[in-house]
Every structure is written in structure tokens, then in C-alpha cells.
Amino acid sequence: MTQPTVLITGISGFIAKHCAIEMLNHGYRVRGTVRSSAKADEVRATLAKYADTSQLELVNADLLADAGWAEACAGGAGVLHLASPFPVSDPKDPQELIRPAVDGSLRVLKAAIAAKVPRFVQTSSVVAVLGGHPRDRSSAFTEADWTVDGPDIGAYMRSKTLAERAARDYLTETGANIHYASVNPGFVLGPLLDNDIGSSGEVIRMFLRGKYPGCPKLSFPVVDVRDIALMHRLALETEQPSGGRYLGVSGSAWFIDMMRPIKQKLGPAARKVPSFELPNFMIRLVAQVDPAARGIVADLGHEVNIDNSLTRAALGISFRGVEESAPAMAESLVALGLV
């Protein structure tokens, strides 16, 4: 029996490589898109450590060009669309993020529809859920919530929101015959596979290197990358109706909640990791000269509360807690010699 082929866009990314391993290890052929042959060699070498790559095919395609997408989608049983820029800080020109995110998502979706691919899973984000709401909101965020545009919405948050909206609106307007779902991860922790550490890995590395003496009082919805990879497979295979929106969150955690299990698990390797929270007024002072700190001032002390019980029930999934996912990322950084 021929194994079904799943296209994974942007397969060189942190989450995408974990998705490739999940799919390869569950009986799928994987076709992944990269933007260069050099990147393809790196991806293949990494994935070969965790899965049988005889069922892996890598092809060139770019979100900003039509070339290659028809061939990439041809004969596919499903698409996991993960390709999208994810910066540490917002660019000066928001279109650097918004254009490839929105245009790229529609380009891949249209190619999948034209190729009669039956299933499409888009990787969105919880930033498409949380933004623009009142700071004093007491009710939990759910799968039904959407980011509301406003002056405090950054380019990355806007790009993920608009990209998911664009895909959903296109399917509503056209009535295209394709089963669609989105996976909306929180702050993604868990083991890194190679030197391409991504934005979340960079944050944990900064703390391992002792860049900050203490933790800012910031709350994040967190999740393990292995659970997000599983969610993509389950969303692709689900018998739930088309249009599902699945929030990938194990719970909310303050930065200090991430640092404590890292210090406990890594011991001497985590000696520079802070063990206390900085007062908010100190972060505000630092923000006068540090752009990264300036970007978090508005969220200091604000706890994010998410209820994704619908996602858990629909996909039949439980999540690893931050006490497992945070040390796993820190350990992998140390093991890879990246600290």
C-alpha cells in the first residue's frame, strides 16, 4: 500500500522539523519545502537522527513566488503549512512579515486546492487570539477569540492574525472542497534538534547566558513542540468538521516558572539563570535604552488565562507542562553547545 504524502512548508523551521519527525514516524511520506539546496542538506541530516528519511523528499519553493507550489502539492494527501517569518523583534516595515505571511498562506492554499489535496492544516498562533483586548479582562481566552487590531498590535501579531483570517475568508467565499484546520501554538518550548534555534530558543539561551539578572514579571501561554507536532497530525487526521481552530497551550507560565525547573534540572549548567523576579519599575528603566525591554512594558504583571478545553476534547490530547518543556529546551541548548 502506498504511503500518503504530506507536504510540510518551511520544513527547516523548529516546529516544522518536529512535525516532519512525527509524520515520518507515523507512516507518512513527507515532502518538505526549502528555499535553498544548502538548507535541504542541513534538514535531511537533522531529521535522519530521529526518523527514516528514505520517505523524505525536499523541494524548492518560496512563499513570495508561484514557482514550485503546484509540483509541491501534486499527489498530496495533506498540507501542513508552517512557513512564516518569526522574528525576535518587529521589523521597521511591517510588510516584511505581513506580506509573506498573508500572500504565502493564500498561495499555498490555492495550490493545494488546485491539486485537489483533501486536507490543509495552517500553523497560526495564539497571538491571533490574544491581542487588542482590555487588560482587565477576567474571562479566559478560548478558540472563539480573535486578536482585535489597534495601535499596540505589532507586525508579527498582525501577520499571523491576517494570514489565518485570509485563509478562512477565502474558503468561506469560494466554498472550496478542502478540509481546513488551524493550530495556534503558544510560546513553544521543548527540545531543539540542531543549531537553528528559532526565537523561543534564543530567549531561553539569553537567560542561560545570564543576560538578565532577574526575570521580568511576564506571563505566557506555553506549550511543548512535541505536543504541537502531534496536534498537527491529529488536526490532519481528525473526523471533526472542517474549520477547526485548535489552541496549542499547556497552560500559562510566568518567566520565573520556566527558570525554576531549568535551574533544578540542569544544576551547574544553569548557574547564570535568574532565580527571582525583577520589580516592574526596573524593567521600565531598562526599557529607556533596551528596545527588547520596551516591547514588554505594557504586559508586565498581566497574567494570560486560556481555556482550550474544546481543543483537548476535539483532538483527544493532553499536554506536557512547563516543568518538562522548559528544561528540555535548555538541556538541548547545552547539549548542542549553543550556550
pLDDT value for 186: 97
**Kind and range of the H or E run holding 40:** helix 37-47
**Kind and range of the H or E run holding 97:** helix 95-114
**Residue 221 confidence (pLDDT) above 60:** yes
Express each pLDDT in 279-327 by its tens digit: 988 888 888 888 777 777 878 878 889 999 999 999 999 999 999 999 9
pLDDT value for 87: 57
pLDDT value for 295: 73
Burial label for 147, CB within 10 Å (0-12, 13-18, 19+), is buried
pLDDT value for 37: 82
Pick from 82, 95, 301, 296: nearest CA to 206: 296
**Residue 1 confidence (pLDDT) above 70:** no
Instruction: Specify the long-range contacts of residues 284-292, CB closer than 8 Å, at least 24 apart.
Output: 291/89, 292/88, 292/89
Concatenated DSSP letters of 163-227 = HHHHHHHHHHHH--S-EEEEEEE-EEES---SS--HHHHHHHHHHHTT-SSSB---EEEEEEHHH
* For range 236-260, the mean pLDDT: 97
Residue found by looking up cell 498561495 in the block: 107
- Residue 221's domain comprises 5-335
How far apart (Å, rounded) are the C-alpha atoms in residues 144 and 161?
13
**Kind and range of the H or E run holding 244:** strand 244-248
Q: Which of 5-14, 76-85, 167-176, 294-303 has the lowest mean pLDDT?
A: 294-303
pLDDT value for 225: 98
Res. 254 pLDDT band, cuts 50 70 90: very high
Q: What is the pLDDT of the chain when averaged over all its residues?
A: 93
Q: Which residue has the higher pLDDT, 239 or 36?
A: 239
Res. 208 pLDDT band, cuts 50 70 90: very high
* For range 225-251, the mean pLDDT: 98
Crossing angle of helices 225-237 and 14-24, rounded to 10°: 60
CATH assignment at residue 295: 3.40.50.720
Residue found by looking up cell 528603566 in the block: 285
Catalytic residues: 160
pLDDT value for 290: 80
Residue found by looking up cell 544544576 in the block: 267
Express each pLDDT in 52-101 by its tens digit: 999 999 999 999 899 999 999 999 999 999 997 655 556 677 888 888 89
Res. 3 pLDDT band, cuts 50 70 90: very high
Q: Which residue has the higher pLDDT, 152 or 307?
A: 307
pLDDT value for 333: 98
Number of domains present in the structure of the chain = 1
Q: Which of 87-96, 115-124, 180-189 has the lowest mean pLDDT?
A: 87-96
